[in-house]
């Protein structure tokens, strides 16, 4: 237990949640205070993570069930920063809808804690505990705006379908435990010889559960409805942060215990990747609601992330991590724009509401143009490099069919991104939107847009960080 300082971020976040709950219950009208203290908790947890774990090569704790390595540190930092940014830009939106309550930041902290446990899990049980902690908070967040019927519907759909996927996951865990005699990833890796094919069933069930969590096709059915119905800031959280934890679990689960069974699970990941890329690109074309469009777009982007995982190489893993990091920044920028479409305390989220935006809001339109071009993968923006790294890793493994499908779906997806740009710049303008946005919202949009625009100047720093991750 000498290394207990390595789990200091998780311990600190746990105590912060308990303290904030007590504070919120006993102190009246403490919403703003709870909010500010939550932001502080995120910052302190990030500093702890950087200080304590960033230089650690690979250490296991609690009988090998928790692992601290370069990947865990990096993913935790991205998760914590993602949670912090979501909170920061949420306040004005929540106040407008009169849902600025103490529960919101506490729930976000709880789900981030669950994700941090998932990221460091080296055991099926620890992973499952983290997953359920994350999911329970997300169920409540989806229904946070109780006065809206759509929000209640979104939460209920997510709860029912997520419970089903958790059941499948648990069944998969029990099968693997039954055939290998352990839930620890390192032990399972040593037990593979005799029960290879029996274990395959367990792997399939767990992959189905995980595919649901990241909304990969054909387990995506919940995403459009939940994204549309949830409050916009919660949708932002859904699109950004849980995917980081889920991707890390995918990597750990496939590459630590089951690397020798690569030929058995590789085709599953390739199928999920191809189906997600094609479906995400085609289904988004007919959408009129921006949040639904983002849902289908995120399904497509998950396809690219899985393409990197399917390679079975370190380069592929690194390309997926870079992809998801850039995707988080692009989403932050896109939602910052969406939260600025406000007029007389009403938020607008249909494509028609963007008509002629460039006439009244030239800077906001320019930001949207950069973000949409980046999502489409147009050079020299960050989105292009994200796709480039993945395709490079895929082609190096001679998986040409996957690369061709990826390129074709990129071309199809470019169509609906360009359609939005056409609406912004060439359609008849609508009434002007409010310009009195919070400072944090403006900062978030400026920061993320500049990162997307200038990524090509400093890619080597990010690549250097990620290149330290060696799983295989």
238 preceded by cis ω (within 30°)? no
**Which tokens hold the place of 356?**
């002629």
State the pTM of this model: 0.93
Domain residue spans of the chain: 258-472
Look-up of token digits 């991205």: 78
Residue 1, pLDDT score = 55
Q: Are 32 and 139 in contact (CB under 8 A)?
A: no
Classify residue 191 as exposed, middle or buried by CB count within 10 Å of its CB (0-12, 13-18, 19+). middle
Closest CA to 9 of 91, 66, 90: 66
Classify residue 369 as exposed, middle or buried by CB count within 10 Å of its CB (0-12, 13-18, 19+). middle
Q: Are 65 and 126 in contact (CB under 8 A)?
A: yes
Which residues in the chain show pLDDT less than 70? Answer: 1-2, 53, 193-196
Give the CA distances from residue 456 to residues 42, 242, 315, 459, in Å, rounded to whole numbers and listed in that order.
29, 27, 19, 6
Q: Are 331 and 313 in contact (CB under 8 A)?
A: no
Residue 193, pLDDT score = 64
Look-up of token digits 């029960």: 195
Report how far residue 288's alpha carbon sits from residue 300's, in angstroms, rounded to the nearest whole number.
17
């Amino acid at each position: 237990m000498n290394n207990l300082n390595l789990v200091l971020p998780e311990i600190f976040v746990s105590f912060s949640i308990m303290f904030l709950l007590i504070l919120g219950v006993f102190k009246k009208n403490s919403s703003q205070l709870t909010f500010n203290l939550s932001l502080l908790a995120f910052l302190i947890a990030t500093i702890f993570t950087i200080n304590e774990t960033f230089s650690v090569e690979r250490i296991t704790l609690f009988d090998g069930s928790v692992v601290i390595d370069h990947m865990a540190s990096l993913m935790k930092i991205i998760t914590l920063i993602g949670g912090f940014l979501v909170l920061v830009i949420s306040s004005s939106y929540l106040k407008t809808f009169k849902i600025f309550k103490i529960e919101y930041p506490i729930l976000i902290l709880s789900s981030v804690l669950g994700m941090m446990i998932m990221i460091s899990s080296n055991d099926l049980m620890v992973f499952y505990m983290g997953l359920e902690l994350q999911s329970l908070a997300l169920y409540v967040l989806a229904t946070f705006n109780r006065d809206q019927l759509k929000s209640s519907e979104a939460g209920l759909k997510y709860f029912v379908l997520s419970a089903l996927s958790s059941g499948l996951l648990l069944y998969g865990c029990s099968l693997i435990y039954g055939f290998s005699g352990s839930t620890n990833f390192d032990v399972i890796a040593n037990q593979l010889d005799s029960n290879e094919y029996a274990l395959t069933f367990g792997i399939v069930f767990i992959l189905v559960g995980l595919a649901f969590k990241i909304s990969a096709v054909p387990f995506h059915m919940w995403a459009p409805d939940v994204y549309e119905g949830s409050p916009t800031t919660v949708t932002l959280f859904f699109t950004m942060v849980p995917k980081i934890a889920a991707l890390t679990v995918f990597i750990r689960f496939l590459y630590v215990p089951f690397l020798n069974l690569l030929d058995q699970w590789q085709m599953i990941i390739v199928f999920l990747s191809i189906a997600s890329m094609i479906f995400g690109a085609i289904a988004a074309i007919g959408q009129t609601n921006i949040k639904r469009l983002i849902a289908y777009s995120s399904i497509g982007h998950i396809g690219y992330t899985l393409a990197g995982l399917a390679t079975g190489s370190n380069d592929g893993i690194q390309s997926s991590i870079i992809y998801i990091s850039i995707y988080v920044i692009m989403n932050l920028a896109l939602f910052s724009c969406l939260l600025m479409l406000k007029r007389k305390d009403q938020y607008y989220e249909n494509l028609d509401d963007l008509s002629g935006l460039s006439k009244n809001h030239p800077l906001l339109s320019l930001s949207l143009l950069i973000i949409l071009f980046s999502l489409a993968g147009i050079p020299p923006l960050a989105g292009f490099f994200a796709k480039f790294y993945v395709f490079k890793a895929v082609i190096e493994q001679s998986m040409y069919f996957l690369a061709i499908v990826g390129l074709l779906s990129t071309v199809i997806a470019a169509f609906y991104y360009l359609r939005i740009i056409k609406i912004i710049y060439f359609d008849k303008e609508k009434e002007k939107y409010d310009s009195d946005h919070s400072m944090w919202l403006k900062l978030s949009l400026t920061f993320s847009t500049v990162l997307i625009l200038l990524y090509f100047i400093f890619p080597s720093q990010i690549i250097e960080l990620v290149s330290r991750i060696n799983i295989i």
